[in-house]
Amino acid sequence: MTTDIDALRDELLAEVAGAADIAGLEAIRIATLGKKGRITAQMKGLGQRPPEERREAGASLNQVKDLLAEAIEARRLSLHEAELAARLASEGIDVTLPIRQQPQGRIHPVSQVLDEIAAIFADMGFTIAEGPDIEDDFHNFTALNIPPEHPARQMQDTFYLPPRDDGMPMVLRTHTSPVQIRTMRNSPPPHRIVIPGRTYRSDSDQTHTPMFHQVEGLVIGRDIHMGHLKGTLEAFCQAFFEVDNVRMRFRPSYFPFTEPSAEVDIGCSYQDGALRIGEGDGWLEILGCGMVNPRVLEACGVDPGEWQGFAWGMGIDRIAMLKYGIPDLRAFFDCDLRWLHHYGFVPLDVPTLSGGLSR
């Protein structure tokens, strides 16, 4: 009897092991362990056996039943794995195909550099001041100690608009300096501001555009001297050009709104066709500056006996060109998609002092 059961067990285990797929395995399960299955039938047939055999046969059958159930489950798992593997193998894709598009915009170099400037000067305690592009003659010239006969007021440099009803000549501001005047007339000293913005000169050639961007600084206090001016500009240049040292040279110059006035050169060299700022034997002029002329303070109602300070101005486009190696000023304003993509900045690259101004 036990031999029969052993034979049945071996036969059924062989069937399970030979099942080709999950459906075949299920058919085997039903044919063995199902209601009408062979094991089930054997179990049913136990009653007809003599009582002395019944117990032993029952135990053996139960053993076989468990064994089969286990084997079927194990086989099911392995068949499932094999089927999954086969399916996955058939589902391969070409991972080299290009991704779905996510158009990437760019930030213009002028905007990026503006954000860099703001980050640096914020750290030095400056705030940003702004003013209108269309200025009156008083704010753009007279209050800045630019007398009526000064060459800068002549037609070749300044864009004029029709005069105001009260006869005041109107101009497109030739520098951001009128915002100094507006700031000093609107609030009492001390001041520590930077003024970025659009500026205009009727000039157009290889290196000049009728519109360009300037950033200007103004510091007014009781004991601010030219050493502070040098310290401020040195700190700015080191931070902006992201170098440890910048050689600097102050040359005496002349601007009507500062006295004394200076032009500032920074050290530079050309290596393999690329400009290096800060090092080398060359000099590169980057800005004009000076101590605010007492006449300007007087025009703003600030007592020059009590207050003094410095101002500087430089071209945003120019320092952007120097830092990022952009060759042509005119291209800044041409909106060529290829240029914007190449020289522009990824929008998530927001300049900070903690994370660095640029990659």
Partner 1 sequence: MKFTLSWLKDHLATDAALTEITDKLTAIGLELEAVADRAADLAPFTVAHVIEARQHPNADRLRVCLVDTGTAQVQVVCGAPNARTGMKGVFAPSGTTIPGTGLLLKPSNIRGEASNGMLCSEREMGLSDEHDGIIELAEDAPLGAPFARVAGLDDPVIDINVTPNRQDCLGVRGIARDLAAAGLGALKPLDATVVEGSYDSPLAVELDFEADFAAACSCFLGRHFRGLTNGPSPEWLRRRLLAIGLRPISALVDITNYVTYDLGRPLHVFDAAKVNGPVQARMARTGETLLALDGKEYPLDGEITVIADRNGPESIGGVMGGAASGCTEATTEMFLEAALFDPHRTAATGRRLGIESDARYRFERGVDPAMVRPGLEIATRLVLRMCGGETSHTVLAGTPDGPAKVVDFRPARVTELIGIDVAAAEQRTILSDLGFGVAESGGAGHWRVTAPTWRSDIDGEADIVEEVARIAGFDRIQSTPLPRLSVTAKPALATAQRRPAQAKRALAVRGMMECVTWSFMPRRFAALFGGGRDDLQLANPISSELDAMRPSLLGNLILAAGRNVDRGHDDVALFEVGPQYSDPTPKGQALAATGLRRGRNGRRHWAESPRMVDAYDAKADVLAVLDAIGAPTASLQIASEAPAWYHPGRSGVLRLGPKNILAVFGELHPRVLDRLDVTGPMVGFEVLIENAPLPKARASRNRAELLVSDLPSVQRDFAFVVDQATTADAILRAARGADKAFITEVNVFDVYTGQGIGDGKKSVAITARLEPKDSTLTDREIDAIAAKIVAAVGKATGAVLRG
Binding to partner 1 in span 179-198, by CB under 8 A: 192, 194, 198
Report how far Cα 275 is from the mean position of its chain's Cα atoms: 24
Q: Which of 254, 325, 330, 342 binds partner 1 (CB under 8 A)?
A: 254
Name the phi and psi angles at 143, rounded to 5: -65, -20
Comparing CB distances to partner 1, the nearer of 42 and 209 is 209
Place of tokens 């005041």: 168
Shortest distance (Å) from residue 281 CB to partner 1: 13
CB 123 within 8 A of CB 353: yes
124 binds partner 1, rule: CB under 8 A: yes
Token readout for 326 is 């952009």
Sole window of 30-38, 42-50, 57-65, 291-299 interacting with partner 1 (rule: CB under 8 A): 291-299
Residue list 314-333, contact with partner 1 (CB under 8 A)? 332-333
Q: Which of 81, 130, 303, 328 binds partner 1 (CB under 8 A)?
A: 130
Comparing CB distances to partner 1, the nearer of 97 and 274 is 97
In the chain, the amino acid numbered 182 is R
Q: Which of 291, 311, 321, 329 binds partner 1 (CB under 8 A)?
A: 291
Shortest distance (Å) from residue 89 CB to partner 1: 23
Token readout for 91 is 């589902």
Shortest distance (Å) from residue 220 CB to partner 1: 12
138 binds partner 1, rule: CB under 8 A: no
β-pairing, 308-315 vs 160-161, is unpaired
State how far the alpha carbon of 62 is from the alpha carbons of 13, 17, 55, 56, 177, in Å.
Answer: 15, 20, 11, 10, 100
d(CA 22, CA 78): 10
Shortest distance (Å) from residue 111 CB to partner 1: 6
Which DSSP string do the residues of 220-284 spell out, in sequence order? EESS--HHHHHHHHHHHHHHHHT-S---EEEEEEEETTEEEEEEEEEEEEEETTEEEES-SSEEE
Total number of residues that touch partner 1 (CB under 8 A): 92
Residue list 208-237, contact with partner 1 (CB under 8 A)? 210-211, 219, 223-228, 230-232, 234-235
Shortest distance (Å) from residue 192 CB to partner 1: 7
CB 349 within 8 A of CB 358: yes
Q: Which of 31, 118, 243, 284 binds partner 1 (CB under 8 A)?
A: 118
Comparing CB distances to partner 1, the nearer of 50 and 227 is 227
> By three-state DSSP, how is residue 210 classified?
coil
Q: Which of 47, 51, 92, 162 binds partner 1 (CB under 8 A)?
A: 162
d(CA 157, CA 162): 16
Residue list 46-105, contact with partner 1 (CB under 8 A)? 97-98, 100-105
